[in-house]
Structure 1
Amino acid sequence: MNEGHDADRYRAPALDKGLDILELLASVDGALTQAEIAKALGRTPNENYRMLERLVRRGYVARNESDRYELTLRLFGLAHLHRPIRRLVSQATPLMRDLAARTLQSNHLAVYDQAGVIVIAQIDAPGYWGMAIRVGAKVSLFNTGSGHILMAFRSAEERAMMIAEHESAPDDEPPDDLEERLAQARLRGYEIMPSMQTAGVYNLSAPILGPDGHALAALTCPYISPLGRKAPDIAEAIAMIVEAASVLSRTLGGQAEPEEAYGAHAG
């Protein structure tokens, strides 16, 4: 049985009509008349009338005094019921605690959100020393391991958008060799770089990948070389971080490791 036949077999025309209307209204600024909606979707106004009325009654669409239709915030509210960030932190926390115990270093989780890299979870080192970053802190996109990972494992279009959004921040300008650094991080499957904020610290970062292979988040350890203590060296710590990121990616339904990564993780 071919795929086209399967697609026809499981069609739900009424659902398709409703989703088409919602997607159309989400793609335009302002409100549309019933005739404008029909023209954009290639249907007659009567074909959409009942569906529009149901969407209005269920609160997904509003009709204003000019008989124009626009989206309400109901879809926004539904999206926030899912709480993706809360789920990500919940799934990551046990792995991050185990990582801190094994590396004897602190680690944190960061995401890209509205032109910023935001720390959403932080686990302290198990000993009396370590480097911690406050949850909610906004860190550099261009000069941190987390920022590099979040850019490296996105599409070229997304990366260009992220860079463009930071053009208004003159104190956070991209280095001249940024693209080369990101390409190296993609090939390795992780980032390792001296901290641009604190001497003696190395940023070790690995991507949390979604089903499309793009970075959902970055798992980062601000590695401090131990003196006089038996602790994992930097190569061993990298391997542990990459392993933890891979496990978390699988837990969230994403790819276990970047497609372009090669070689030993601790090489």
Structure 2
Amino acid sequence: MSDGEDDRYRAPALDKGLDILELLAGVDGGLTQAEISKKLNRSPNEFYRMLDRLVRRGYITRIDGDRYSLTLKLFGLAQLHAPTRRLAAYATPLMRDLAQRTRQANQLAVFDRGSAVVIAQQEAPDYWGISIRVGSHISLFDTGSGHVLLAFRPPEEREMMISEHVKSRKDIELTPEFYARLDEIRARGYEMMASAQTAGVFNLSAPILGPDRRGIAALTVPYISLVNAPSAPDISTTISLLQKTAEQLSLLAGSDVQHEVPVET
């Protein structure tokens, strides 16, 4: 395509927005409007309306009053595109094997725009089991999947995730105890908690780690005690099987990290 054809199809406003996003993607700590205009060699007034729209659409956010930083919205959109479909495809046979070994259902969730989203799920092989519909949006604050997705992210990313979630949940009150729990989960390597939605269910969740050691997904077994199933593994063994499956998926995702942590009951 010639330069003349390039100019004919230009979209200045779109270019300006993309310039801002690409600039902020390579900066830690954000930039002020004046700093953005200086780095892009334009007048500060050119960016006021564009910055306002990007904030309102959730692509960037204000920090420290006058600085702009990327949110995780672009990351969330990318998570639901091809990489997520590939992850779900790779996970399916391993999740099926996990269901057979544990006699429990399991599901895989990723972070997307303020929630944990179920991208794959495997039914329990027997009559009883807890399943969640693929595509369901679940809370970051009171589910095992949400806790793991938060626990295995760097503090700055974690705060962005929480900020996006709180926008739709005005009743959330964050406490030092909640952050301490996330640290415990990270140190232990998994989450085990009574379900806040269903009595008698324990959410067992382990992270899928990417090449940069960040949690990219959470694998969860909604564990129920099975009556008249003497061969079904107990909760301790189920946690161990869950962690081994999460390690296999982490290796497929390019991570060299394995969860060598003691199993607790």
User: TM-score scaled to structure 2, two decimals?
Assistant: 0.69
Matches within 5 A, 1:1-267: 24=19, 26-27=21-22, 40=39, 83-168=82-167, 169-174=169-174, 177-229=177-229, 230-257=231-258, 263-266=261-264
Gap change, CA 1:187 and 1:28, over 3 Å in 2: closer
What value does the CA root-mean-square deviation take over the aligned residues? Answer: 3.0
Indicate if the aligned counterparts of 2:79 and 2:112 stay in contact, CA closer than 8 A: no
How far the C-alpha of 1:203 sits from its partner, in A, is 0.4
Paired residue secondary structure (1:141):
coil
Paired residue secondary structure (2:109):
strand
Deviations 1:21-52 (A, max 9, x none): x98554369xxxxxxx9x8479xxxxxxxxxx
How far the C-alpha of 1:256 sits from its partner, in A, is 3.2
State the match for 1:60 in structure 2: none
Indicate if the aligned counterparts of 2:209 and 2:255 stay in contact, CA closer than 8 A: yes
Paired residue secondary structure (1:27):
helix
Give unmatched runs, 5+ long, in structure 2. 1-16, 25-35, 42-74
Which whole-Å CA distance do the structure 1 matches of 2:40 and 2:159 have between them?
31
User: Which is higher, the Rg of structure 1 or of structure 2?
Assistant: 1
How many residues are matched? 203
Which whole-Å CA distance do the structure 1 matches of 2:115 and 2:81 have between them?
22
Which whole-Å CA distance do the structure 1 matches of 2:183 and 2:20 have between them?
38
Deviations 1:76-101 (A, max 9, x none): 9xx79971011000000000000000
Indicate if the aligned counterparts of 2:109 and 2:218 stay in contact, CA closer than 8 A: yes
Amino acid at match of 2:123: D
Which whole-Å CA distance do the structure 2 matches of 1:221 and 1:81 have between them?
22
Indicate if the aligned counterparts of 1:142 and 1:174 stay in contact, CA closer than 8 A: no
Gap change, CA 1:81 and 1:100, over 3 Å in 2: closer
Gap change, CA 1:82 and 1:151, over 3 Å in 2: closer
Paired residue secondary structure (2:262):
coil
Amino acid at match of 1:200: G
Paired residue secondary structure (2:162):
helix
Using the aligned pairs only, state the percent identity.
52
Which whole-Å CA distance do the structure 1 matches of 2:79 and 2:182 have between them?
32
Indicate if the aligned counterparts of 1:193 and 1:203 stay in contact, CA closer than 8 A: yes
Amino acid at match of 2:255: G
Gap change, CA 1:109 and 1:170, over 3 Å in 2: same
How far the C-alpha of 1:226 sits from its partner, in A, is 1.4
Indicate if the aligned counterparts of 2:118 and 2:136 stay in contact, CA closer than 8 A: yes
Paired residue secondary structure (1:142):
coil
Which whole-Å CA distance do the structure 2 matches of 1:151 and 1:185 have between them?
10
Which whole-Å CA distance do the structure 2 matches of 1:106 and 1:80 have between them?
23
Paired residue secondary structure (1:166):
helix
How far the C-alpha of 1:181 sits from its partner, in A, is 1.0
Amino acid at match of 1:120: I
Amino acid at match of 1:222: P
Give unmatched runs, 5+ long, in structure 1. 1-21, 30-36, 43-75
How far the C-alpha of 1:175 sits from its partner, in A, is 5.7
How far the C-alpha of 1:165 sits from its partner, in A, is 1.5
How far the C-alpha of 1:173 sits from its partner, in A, is 4.5
Amino acid at match of 1:178: F
